[in-house]
Amino acid sequence: MIKVNSLISLLKKNNSDFYAGVPDSVLKELSYSLQKKGKKNHIIATNEGSAVSLGIGHYLSTKKVPCIYMQNSGLSNALNPLISIAHEKVYSIPLILIIGWRGSPRVKDEPQHNVKGKITENILKLLNIKYTIIRSSVDLKKFDKQIKIAKKKNSIIACLIEQGTLEKTKKENKKKRLLQQKKGIFLKNFTAKIKEKNKNNLKH
């Protein structure tokens, strides 16, 4: 397992701080962390193709490599902009793809993910996209090196993340926090009233 902040820090270190993607159960810790940090550089797209297009637009306007996240089942939706625009033999636009790998041969999953899971690596190879399967901090270092090479060559790079790889982050319970605040205000007011009443009793 790895901490999601370790992945985000690695990307930030490579000057990549723009994210666009489609929420995925495997990458929910990433989505949560990005939303928590702010929505300025994080766009939730309607589909994977749109996410890639947003990333391409960001790169053309800033020359900073964007991060596009998606589930592998949505990789097919991203094929057109990846092949017809970003591909190294077309306009050679560097992108970092973060792909939630449902149906990975190593992880038991729902039947509908099995076929796509088995061919996901083949799809990336067919597109000539170098990728890293991230399972530990050692893999993050490998991915870091691949990102640096991709930036020099203006090529697309990807990482595959399996279910359970990203460590769960503690989510703050807003209702619980609000209740605690109300209790605090109540106790403060209650204590003030008791003190006031005691003062009045002493006067009489």
pLDDT in tens, 77-122: 999 999 999 999 999 999 999 999 999 999 999 999 999 999 999 9
What's the Cα-to-Cα distance from 8 to each of 32, 123, 138, 199, rounded to whole Å?
Answer: 12, 25, 15, 57
DSSP secondary structure code for residue 97 in this structure: E
Distance of alpha carbon 52 from its chain centroid, rounded?
14
The predicted pLDDT at position 17 comes to 93
Counting Cα atoms < 13 Å in the Cβ hemisphere of 192 gives 6
- pLDDT greater at residue 193 or residue 103: 103
130-173 pLDDT tens trace: 999 999 999 999 999 999 999 999 999 999 999 999 998 765 55
Asked if 71 and 102 touch (Cβ cutoff 8 Å), the reply is yes
60-78 pLDDT tens trace: 999 999 999 999 999 999 9
Closest to 27 (Cα-Cα) out of 70, 77, 67, 68 = 70
Question: Is CATH 3.90.950.20 what the domain over 4-162 is classified as, yes or no?
Answer: no
DSSP secondary structure code for residue 136 in this structure: S
Confidence at 194, pLDDT banded by 50, 70, 90: confident
Q: Which residues contact 166 (CB under 8 A, 6 or more apart)?
A: 1, 2, 3, 4, 7, 26, 27, 29, 30
